[in-house]
Amino acid sequence: MSIASMTGYARAEGRDASTSWLWEAKSVNGKGLDVRCRLPHGLDGVEIAARDLTTRKLKRGNVQLSLNLTAVAQGPGLRVNKEFLEELVALVDELGPSHQNIAPARWDGLLAVKGVLEAANGDEAESEETRAVREAAIKADLEAVLDSLAAMRLTEGERIQAVLASQLDEIEILAERAGGTAALRPEALRERLRQQVAAVLEAAPSLAEDRIAQEVALIAVKSDVREELDRLRAHVAAARDLIAQGGAVGRKLDFLSQEFNREANTLCSKSSDVELTRIGLDLKAVIDQFREQVQNIE
């Protein structure tokens, strides 16, 4: 299963005999899923469907859905004023016997009489059935645009996934390099501990043995970063497992990035070696880049 980005854009168009519409869907990073709809008045049912569909297809991100409706331009239609036409026919029948020298009325002549044919009123109320069919088509296009948005977010997620994998590799390499520095070799640790204990005894020669033991233990803990390096390696393995798992893992990866940063900070604060400090700073830089990328993941 792949991971998805929270950023994306998609659009879909549709139309029927009298109306065209355009769906646009945009999404950006967000702590949770926030859906905002901009729809024409009177489409409450469509808005409910839009929120429901978005919740089912996406897990995180600030999503904005907008729908624009446009009336399709049509030529002026014609309608027959049947009442007026019936009056004319009745009048022709009535006058027929007294006007025998006049040619009988024809339909093309009657239809040419002003007022028989009228321009159809385009603002006549639509039927409920027409509106229902249109709403169904609009909802179908909504699902299509959300599918396109989800697909785009997955494509962007694949790119981010490759970047994250590279950054995790670099974190692992730096942790191994830190573990191999001369400052962390057993003889170097023993010598540093010996020097620090000697400095403590020189500053306070009258310290009790139990207090000296406490100081030695404290110095040993402060100078040993092997535990931090072990945790960094464990966090790398956990991050890789999450990425392989896929789905909505952005929050968990964000938590891990904070743990990465905590261990790197501790390593730098404990370091008394220039090379180890430099590696710690490199670790912090890569971890910051890792966290920036994680902010984009669903």
The pLDDT averaged over each successive group of 10 residues in the chain (298 residues) is 92 92 96 94 90 94 95 66 79 66 65 69 67 93 96 95 96 90 56 62 63 52 75 96 93 95 90 84 96 95
pLDDT of residue 209: 58
Output the domain CATH number for residue 268: 1.20.140
Residue 115: inside a domain: yes
Contact 174, 280 (CB under 8 A): no
Residues 208 and 84 in one domain: no
Helices (H), ranges, 76-115: 82-95, 107-112
Strands 33-38 and 61-71 come out as parallel
Tokens of 19: 């109306």
| pLDDT the model gives residue 272 | 73
Domain count of the fold of the chain: 3
Does 213 share its domain with 148?
no
Same domain, 243 and 281: yes
- Same domain assignment for residues 220 and 179: yes
Domain co-membership, 22 together with 142: yes
Q: What's 115's DSSP letter?
A: T
Which residues sit opposite 34 in a β-bridge?
A: 62
Residues 184 and 229 in one domain: yes
Assess whether 69 and 82 both reside in one domain. no
Residues 42 and 70 in one domain: yes
Question: What pLDDT is recorded for position 98?
Answer: 60
What pLDDT sits at residue 8? 95
Q: Which of 263, 295, 289 is nearest to 169 (CA)?
A: 289
Task: Report yes or no on 1 lying in a domain.
Answer: no
Domain that holds residue 255: 156-294
Predicted local distance difference test score (pLDDT) of residue 205: 67
Tell me whether residue 214 is in a domain. Answer: yes
Query: What pLDDT, on the 0 to 100 scale, is given for residue 85?
Result: 76
CA atoms within 13 A on the CB side of 293: 23
Asked, for residue 125, whether it belongs to a domain, the answer is no
In a domain? residue 138: yes
Specify if 187 maps to a domain. yes
> 250-270 and 274-294 helices cross at what angle (nearest 10)?
170
Same domain, 55 and 94: no
Give the separation between CA 134 and CA 128, rounded to whole angstroms: 10
* CATH number of the domain within which 21 lies: 3.30.230.10
